Amino acid sequence: NAGVTQTPKFQVLKTGQSMTLQCAQDMNHEYMSWYRQDPGMGLRLIHYSVGAGITDQGEVPNGYNVSRSTTEDFPLRLLSAAPSQTSVYFCASRSSGGSSYEQYFGPGTRLTVT
Amino acid sequence: GDSVTQMEGPVTLSEEAFLTINCTYTATGYPSLFWYVQYPGEGLQLLLKATKADDKGSNKGFEATYRKETTSFHLEKGSVQVSDSAVYFCALRATGGGNKLTFGTGTQLKVEL
């Protein structure tokens, strides 16, 4: 049972490049979320999904796209990276039967946009 | 809107010292309150929680009491260990639930021998 896995762990992009941050969970959780963590800002919700085929925006969705074609995977896409997207990104999942505090977090992806 | 304020770090303590990390919140109604811990190189893990006023959450020697009158949820531990070195996040879930957690900015704790 690997829990929540994220790849890559580190990434450097140039402004305007695109990339996808991968997130997978093997706990059969319905709910998955993406957060970004910035110094002095705490964690902020980017997008979330309540099940395969269903996604919704969080607090800071601009510049990011998501899709949820399977229960296990919830990739986060940056279509045209900007320096403001330099951050640490965390993916989280939880069962629909639990409360939102019972989230399981991945180890994070540290992204730098130059 | 909802917000969580934590004391700034880093907090540096000697092993066996007493720890307090302050957390206050702003929210309507009766939110649920949580402390998460992030060890180096890992994701966040739920440390403890309290879902109503005067509840005390506890785990691994850490405690926090939900104080409605002072809108606080301070984290305490009587004797810290080097292995407690981590970043600690206070968070709330608004009344009515939903999928959103509001996090504080995190407080880094360093425990030295």
Three-state secondary-structure class, residue B80: coil
Picking from A27, A103, A104 by the largest number of B CB atoms within 10 A of its own CB, the best residue to mutate is A103
CA separation (Å) from B102 to A72, B61, B97?
25, 24, 12
% of chain A residues with pLDDT over 70: 96
Q: Tell me the chain B residues in contact with residue A110 when contact means C-beta distances shorter than 8 Å.
A: none
pLDDT digit string, tens, across residues B26-41? 998 889 999 999 998 8
- Tokens read off for B36: 């998460």
Q: How far is B14 from chain A (nearest CA, A)?
A: 25
What are A's interface residues with B at a Cβ cutoff of 8 A?
Answer: 4, 31, 33, 37, 39-45, 48, 50, 58-59, 90, 92, 99-108
Q: How far is B45 from chain A (nearest CA, A)?
A: 7
- Tokens read off for B113: 């021998």
Asked if B103 and A88 touch (Cβ cutoff 8 Å), the reply is: no
pLDDT digit string, tens, across residues B63-92? 999 999 999 999 999 999 999 999 999 999
If you average pLDDT over every residue of chain B, what do you get? 92
Asked if A83 and A15 touch (Cβ cutoff 8 Å), the reply is: yes
